[in-house]
Structure 1
């Protein structure tokens, strides 16, 4: 298994030239203590090992326990990173990882979901001893939403809203990788299937477009009037989820919000429906209701069958981020762009964090644009 991992890692490095270039251009990071809260899959390894090679001290936590690859964490620990993360860790262990990362005394944060920043400010409000954070990066829309209304004690640079992140990863790769994972996991295609996509942000747009390309009959459920109108202008039938739940063959959540699919929706779904989530948070679907009220089996890996009211609901990856829990997520060449921008962002907060104002700021173009060139 370890030998296979080394071969995969070598393949990833080979096909991520922008990331290699961005790391080579980074300053000396000796004295920098970077706490990373992110997906710990194969594609992250070239970045983390590169940062370690530049002298950076790193503490790894995860933004999603279901997407952790334990061989990646073990390899990076051998390289010198500290960590408190493993696949399917309990919520108690996951919560403890945030406290452990902050107790380690990071100077900078690199996040996907703002868990460390949230815990930091909870500690501030309780008068607890806290480290001095110079600056942070945030990579997700759900993380930026959590920061709304917060008054951060340090500058946080948002790179989720950069055109290259929105237009490439959010708009194209999530949807494409989600349906590729669907085919691999279920051995089914989307032909003759009604697919209801919940949420019409950039991720939802990509999920809808990819589903259509793969033969689905696509409908969109969107509460926001402006996005619903955009979906109509893009040619999608816009439906109410409560009306669509009884006839949809596949339901995909792409909102990054909590409790989007409720017990009411689950009770009205048709027999044999597939439900999956590609949003950042695992709580878009009321999985706890299914676990409490339905009989569970797993006919195929990552296909969780729940018998509810005489009907079977197939919840893929148990409601976790499907494309990265059951699949590989973005392609290496696409994620190479994302990772190179991330590396440039880390370089920016290290060099400019001390000179920046507290609060949430968009990562400036001067910090990341060079990452696109080869």
Structure 2
């Protein structure tokens, strides 16, 4: 591996958390991650990642930390940063540092400090990135072009980041191979739907201490994340509504039992609104007139800007903080409550995805980096191959004590027989 001289940032000397508490959190994840701690560890033990420098840039809490330790145990040089300034856990940061990993993130930061942290991660000249939202990838392209050109690959976590990678590839600005981990079946079918669905509703209720049965919950966006949120809210007795601009997804939401409508039609009676588009300003200034008094706004998409908090603050006459992680904005005679500053509510206002879900997601990421490092792929965006996806699912089932039947000979399709009787063209 070619070396490059870089100016490394100075590490912090003041602890910002309790390493022993953080280690206990990581150990809890290990206990409930049979795929990552078993099948993935065994695969990575072939030495392919020894000496490889990997930047892990995902919401920095215990589950991300365990992924980082698995990579480090495989011999990789791991640099850890956060993908959002509001979701870095100080105890976990100190636990990773105590284990000898390089961490360039601190808790309780703002967007300026987060930008500096991302560039600090870039300055370690990673060979590969496990990214979230393509946040580090984009910044390296813009601010560290020489190091960007040296990148060997990226494995991307999110729908938003996947869209960004495709845009970069289409523009001829992606000079290396990438994997969209988000498009792996063992990621989006479980993480996006069941993980975000469950934990978003949990965080919303825990932060507000409000009742969901009978509530009118509007979900903005009906991708896999929106599906999960609407499904969990509906199962808990909410009346569920969906705002969606894609006609096929809107029809799917209708078939799933949700009421479909435009913002002007469904927002005026909503008691809770959750954005899940992966885009910008899903609830913006144009939507404010439709919001009723006492409505709760939460974001479950990638961008903190899915709820335009800055515009809401500019339009308000008074702001108060009635509960932890809730800011109330006064618009005329209406109070609008925003959870977790518009950041991802299930992480900034909760504990993030269930461990069992992230065991699958981070298995995809761990095997994805190994696949990138051991496979000759063309530059551009790729999906993890089916056999690896299947292997992850099989390992998860095995951990549950489940074995599957195989197709018996008499169940095979007879196409081979009748194809022999068809004349060649």
Q: Give the whole-Å Cα distance in 1 for the aligned partners of 2:115 and 2:54.
A: 18
Q: Which residue of 1 aligns with 2:182?
A: 160
SS at match of 2:129: strand
SS at match of 1:227: helix
Q: Which residue of 2 aligns with 1:213?
A: 235
Structure 1, unpaired ranges of 5+: none
Matched residues, number: 370
Q: Which residue of 2 aligns with 1:102?
A: 122
Q: Deviations over 1:219-263 (max 9, x none)?
A: 111011221122122222111112222211011101110011111
Q: Which residue of 2 aligns with 1:43?
A: 63
Q: Give the whole-Å Cα distance in 1 for the aligned partners of 2:311 and 2:276.
A: 20
Q: 1:273 aligns with which of 278, 281, 295?
A: 295
Q: Give the whole-Å Cα distance in 1 for the aligned partners of 2:167 and 2:312.
A: 33
Equivalent residue runs for 1:1-374 within 5 Å: 2-21=19-38, 22-26=40-44, 27-28=46-47, 29-123=49-143, 130=148, 132-151=150-169, 152-294=174-316, 295-352=318-375, 355-372=376-393, 373=395, 374=398
CA contact (8 A) 2:125 2:147 kept: no
SS at match of 1:137: strand
Q: Deviation of residue 146 (structure 1)?
A: 1.2
SS at match of 1:280: coil
TM-score, structure 2 as length reference: 0.83
Q: Deviation of residue 5 (structure 1)?
A: 3.2
**Range with greater deviation from structure 2 (339-348 or 82-91):** 82-91
Q: Give the whole-Å Cα distance in 2 for the aligned partners of 1:49 and 1:319.
A: 30
Inter-CA distance 302–79: structure 2 relative to 1 (3 Å threshold): same
Q: Deviation of residue 208 (structure 1)?
A: 0.6
Q: Give the whole-Å Cα distance in 2 for the aligned partners of 1:33 and 1:4.
A: 27
Q: Give the whole-Å Cα distance in 2 for the aligned partners of 1:77 and 1:129.
A: 25
Q: Give the whole-Å Cα distance in 2 for the aligned partners of 1:46 and 1:129.
A: 27
Q: Give the whole-Å Cα distance in 1 for the aligned partners of 2:147 and 2:197.
A: 42
Inter-CA distance 7–36: structure 2 relative to 1 (3 Å threshold): closer
TM-score, structure 1 as length reference: 0.94
Q: Give the whole-Å Cα distance in 2 for the aligned partners of 1:92 and 1:333.
A: 33
Looking at CA atoms only, which structure, 1 or 2, has the larger radius of gyration?
2
Q: Deviation of residue 128 (structure 1)?
A: 5.1
Q: Give the whole-Å Cα distance in 2 for the aligned partners of 1:259 and 1:224.
A: 17
- Indicate the structure whose relative CO is greater, using CA pairs within 8 Å and at least 6 residues apart: 1
Q: Give the whole-Å Cα distance in 2 for the aligned partners of 1:273 and 1:334.
A: 30
Q: Deviation of residue 75 (structure 1)?
A: 1.3
Q: Deviations over 1:266-291 (max 9, x none)?
A: 23311110110101111101100122
Q: Deviation of residue 130 (structure 1)?
A: 4.4
Q: Give the whole-Å Cα distance in 1 for the aligned partners of 2:302 and 2:100.
A: 28
Q: Give the whole-Å Cα distance in 2 for the aligned partners of 1:155 and 1:222.
A: 32
CA contact (8 A) 1:106 1:131 kept: no
Inter-CA distance 319–289: structure 2 relative to 1 (3 Å threshold): same
SS at match of 2:78: strand
User: What's the RMSD between the two structures over aligned residues?
Assistant: 1.7
**Range with greater deviation from structure 2 (47-56 or 90-99):** 90-99
